[in-house]
Chains A and B, each alone.
Chain A
């Protein structure tokens, strides 16, 4: 059987090569390397138009073969979409761009063809295929200069279009609306005078103790806001806590030093301290130069603050804000001069050092909660309560997912599998 097939193929090759006009080319019409040898295309969903996605799924044994994709437009003009893609990449996007506007246009019909080959595609062969006269309308096996190329049939007409909405983001919109409602509800509740509870944050009580002890020793207080900008939430929280600390400083008639990393943060800190001193009735004690700019270089800043700590020997050091690799350098120096240290940041990677080297640490969101606890503004209290409710929502989501997956995969029940898939898909935006 095999022998006969082989003989037939040899005969075919010979007969075709005899009649072929082109010396190096042999063509076997309708032959395919495997069943269902084809590529498919579709408009890229949820995009701004001008893009078509071409996909293929070939047997794994062909993963290291190359695929070249060609495009034909309504007028019969051929062009190359991409040459020599690895078959394992499974898809390619034909997208128009400003530099190359000749590519996909919305509303035009396009037809795609794929060329599969073991070696990289021969340029002469490719030119021959895309020239209008020879056209590659015929699918089959081409043998050119002893290299074999398998050409797929043309795809159906594919038209690209622009989408008004990115439908894959519907869960985002729903969540956004939900969160806005929850937030507004709690905001109204807080405004209407209902007292929203917020738990006490450990470490805040220590503020007074730290400032008091520092005053007793006749040492200044250092407040480090880290290397965040005024747009970073931890920096803003740090500034709120700074207000509380400086008020205490003014009451105790001591000195506060705030070395800054960012000029805008520095200006804001100056305002905050000035206001707090005024509120405490001691605007005369406020010295603008105690809140100074160091540099906007991470380790330059760390070195500068370190040197200052060694010289000024503050009795209490507050590290509240956004910290990165300099966290341990600062906290360690503060520890070595024997200062009481109260730290807080949202950077998970830096918290271990603060926990190890400081007396009190506000972990992550505790910092934000602390600033709310100090201010007790209805807007912020409302947002803390709303956030807690959303945490419950996420917890419920995870627990539901967990229970579903126990039934779906532990007990192998079909309906739960479907439900679980539905949930997972909703989360994969």
Chain B
């Protein structure tokens, strides 16, 4: 393998290096790459929304399929813009009420089922040390998040056990995150060494 001849790989590699140059110190190359990323992501988002929402969800059904039911959600959506005009801004409450109502109706039962499943998973289906730890951990953590009682005496002691469990969990999460950050770096190095420089396969 040899050094890349593809123009876009060169662009990607140079931008990667420009961002990493921030580790040395803030500089114009970093700033250029930063602003470029911010600008491109906005532009990309707008174009995707335009095609996948306006065109495929509104224009195509209206013009080609003659599906006039689309007008109802379209009208509701347009009412959102009434926020920009002070005297009619109350109209935007209609679509918001619709979204909040439907969203709550859909999510309440599902959230309950989700909670039930987690409580069920805490039930000790077999008696061993592991399930004892889970039960103690869950209960003491719940006690830590008790707000209507002062953390003194027995409650205070249990909540201290709880915060210990929380910190142990944070430690595990921290370890995993180091792994993740290293992986992200590895991904870039791999790109630079193989796709760009062609040093490794």
Contacts and interface: CB of A to CB of B under 8 A. Distances in A.
Interface of B: 19, 22, 26, 30-31, 34, 37-38, 41-42, 45, 108-109, 112-113, 116-117, 119-120, 122-127, 135, 138-139, 142-143, 145-151, 166-167, 169-171, 173-174, 177, 180-181
Nearest to A196: B148
B38 A198 contact: no
B42 A401 contact: no
Most buried by B among A325, A385, A394, A406: A394
Nearest to B96: A231
A400 to B, nearest CB: 10
Contacts of A303: 19, 34, 37-38
Nearest to B39: A295
Contacts of A427: 116-117, 119-120, 123
Given A297-B37, A310-B26, A399-B135, 9 more contacts: A199-B151, A296-B41, A297-B42, A297-B45, A365-B147, A398-B123, A420-B123, A423-B123, A429-B117
15 contacts: A296-B41, A296-B42, A300-B37, A300-B38, A351-B170, A353-B177, A355-B167, A364-B145, A369-B147, A391-B142, A395-B142, A398-B135, A399-B139, A401-B124, A428-B116
The SS class assigned to the B binding surface is helix
A429 B113 contact: yes
Contacts of B109: 169, 172
B34 A307 contact: yes
Given A300-B38, A398-B135, A402-B135, A198 B112 contact: no
Contacts of B147: 198-199, 365, 369, 372, 384, 388
B42 A391 contact: no
Interface residues of A, number: 57
Contacts, number: 134
Contacts of A306: 22
B123 A353 contact: no
A120 B165 CA distance: 53
A296 B181 CA distance: 22
A429 B37 CA distance: 45
Interface of A: 169, 171-172, 175-176, 196-199, 294-297, 299-300, 303-304, 306-307, 310-311, 325, 328, 348-349, 351-353, 355-356, 363-366, 369, 372, 384-385, 388, 391, 394-395, 397-399, 401-402, 405-406, 409-410, 420, 423-424, 427-429
Interface centre among B116, B151, B169, B170 (most CB of A within 10 A): B170
